[in-house]
Amino acid sequence: MPVWNPEYETMPREALEELQLRRLKSTVAWVYERVPYYREALDARGVKPRDIRSVDDVRLLPFTDKTALRDTYPFGMFAVPMEQVVRVHSSSGTTGKPIVVGYTKGDLNTWTELTARIASAAGVTAHDRVQMLFLYGMFTGGWGMHYGIERVGATVFPAGAGNTERQLMMMQDFGTTAIVGTPSYALYLAEVAEAEGIDVTALPLRVGLFGGEPSGEAMRAEIERRLGILATDNYGLSEVMGPGVSGECEHQCGLHMAEDHFLFEIVDPKTGEPLPDGEEGELVITTLTKEAFPVIRYRTHDLTVIETAPCACGRTLARMRKVRKRTDDMLIVRGVNVYPSQIEDALLQVEGVEPHYLIVVDRTGAMDTLEVRIEVAEEMFSDMMSDMVAFTRRVSDRIHSVVGLHAKVTLVEPGTIERTAGKARHVVDNRPSE
Ligand code: DLL
């Protein structure tokens, strides 16, 4: 499979590091001159742009967190005047004010280059017909991926999120070969197709580019089987750019990071101290080429591992493991740390459990309660009434062996857990906040 931009994607590591240093120096000078927040933060640490002499000197710089971006709402972190900003997006936060990000023409050009790499790494070419299932709008998913796919020369159908029957009609009539969206929506699409008697595996569809939310290997296998496609994962966040930050190649062995445009660090989420490659920690990102909205050492809260072993595809860019956990999605239930992704993994090890689930945490008296609502396949639901107790025990035992907690497992009718065209919600925490 050809590499979209071999000059950068297969660059020798020493040359890459030189490039990163050059770009890091100019980014630090850029924000110091143009963004009062950064000037103050650097001054407070007694650091000047000229103190950056190696890539590791990034550690002299302060972290940036969401609060800083919120406090300067809406445009206070922009490093260029508004007349140079040609696009604005915002993060998908559900409450309060969102984080607003801006792009110059140059930023859009870089963004398009990076999403073209994602598309190309998944094998998308000018021969493909690509149906966009991501939302267009303030969310970065739709627009970000859209332009990259156009740049590789493929035909885009900008369907946008939702209206699943119509999506399926287009897929059949237009000969869609690739889809782009969230993994949870891909599963829903499979489900609706099955209900309508449409055999998607017999259509020309062959590849799916998924991202925007976590999904495990079991989920990937399910999507690949039910849609008859190769599914790749890609990662990004609005604060840094949107999609395009990292993405898998067809070997599916970690997400190649766009290290020529971003500097990635893994830190201990508690102490902020750097961790060596190969250890799991919080991903911290510094943009190296952003003009309108550069960020310095942005705390993503996403937990991952960086791997530098060479990849069979020939790209020299290091890879990050699929993101399955965030520092802020850990639940503490009866004193035990639980990540929703661990529960998903446990569920999908039991045959007959569908990948639609809801974790409900509550409190009765002083006691935390953990309930996991799951759906089972339609055929099983009717057959299983007699076996229900044994089945829920099997699921609950699996959860116990993975997370060390007893959960009440409730079977719900197929189709009753909320489906969304955007990011799935897997947790409801009803405990009173003290
Ligand atoms: O979700 C950008 C994006 C759009 C990436 C489309 C890929 C495809 P935000 O809405 O700002 O931006 O959400 C960013 O979503 O910090 C992660 O926690 C999570 N996330 C995004 N992609 C993945 C992924 C977009 N592939 C936040 N795996 C991030 C796991 C992901 N988590």
The response to whether residue 246 sits with its C-beta less than 6 Å from ligand 1 reads: no
**246 near 236, Cβ under 8 Å?**
yes
Edge-to-edge strands, sheet with 353-364: 408-412, 367-376, 353-364, 427-429
The response to whether residue 350 sits with its C-beta less than 6 Å from ligand 1 reads: no
With a CB cutoff of 8 Å and minimum separation 6, the contacts of 318 are 256, 257, 259, 264, 277, 306, 307, 308
**How many alpha carbons lie under 13 Å from residue 402 in its C-beta half-sphere?**
20
Instruction: Report the residue among 210, 213, 326 best suited for mutation to probe ligand 1: largest number of ligand atoms under 8 A from its CB.
Output: 213
CA–CA distance, 171 with 203 (Å, rounded to integer) = 8
Region 142-157: what's the mean pLDDT? 98
The response to whether residue 242 sits with its C-beta less than 6 Å from ligand 1 reads: yes
CA–CA distance, 342 with 326 (Å, rounded to integer) = 12
**177 near 204, Cβ under 8 Å?**
yes
The response to whether residue 243 sits with its C-beta less than 6 Å from ligand 1 reads: yes
**186 near 231, Cβ under 8 Å?**
yes
Query: Which atom of ligand 1 approaches the CA of 234 most closely?
Result: 26
With a cut of 80, say whether residue 79 has pLDDT above it.
yes
List beta partners, residue 308: none
Q: Angle at the Cα of 417 (from 413 to 421), degrees rounded to 5?
A: 135
Type of residue found at 313: C
Type of residue found at 246: S
pLDDT band at 93 (very low <50, low <70, confident <90, very high): low
CA–CA distance, 213 with 233 (Å, rounded to integer) = 9
Res 41: pLDDT: 98
Region 145-149: what's the mean pLDDT? 98
Nearest-10 Cα torsion for 17, 23, 26, 29: -70
**DSSP run (H or E) holding 68:** helix 66-71
CA of 182 to the centre of ligand 1 (A): 9
Res 434: pLDDT: 62
User: Could you tell me which of 338, 355, 343 has the C-alpha nearest to residue 187?
Assistant: 355
Type of residue found at 82: M
CA–CA distance, 263 with 297 (Å, rounded to integer) = 8
Res 128: pLDDT: 98
List beta partners, residue 427: 359
Residue nearest to atom 4 of ligand 1 (CA): 141
Res 19: pLDDT: 98
Tens digits of per-residue pLDDT, 12-39?
Answer: 999 999 999 999 999 999 999 999 999 9
CA of 185 to the centre of ligand 1 (A): 14
Tens digits of per-residue pLDDT, 331-357?
Answer: 999 999 999 999 999 999 998 888 899
Per-residue tokens: 362: 């509550």
CA of 236 to the centre of ligand 1 (A): 5
Type of residue found at 140: T
The response to whether residue 182 sits with its C-beta less than 6 Å from ligand 1 reads: no
Q: Is 51 exposed, middle or buried (0-12, 13-18, 19+ CB in 10 A)?
A: middle
Residue nearest to atom 27 of ligand 1 (CA): 237
Q: What is the DSSP secondary structure assignment for residue 64, as one 8-state letter? A: B
Mean pLDDT of the chain: 95
CA of 287 to the centre of ligand 1 (A): 16
Q: Is 382 exposed, middle or buried (0-12, 13-18, 19+ CB in 10 A)?
A: exposed
pLDDT band at 45 (very low <50, low <70, confident <90, very high): very high
Query: Which atom of ligand 1 approaches the CA of 134 most closely?
Result: 6
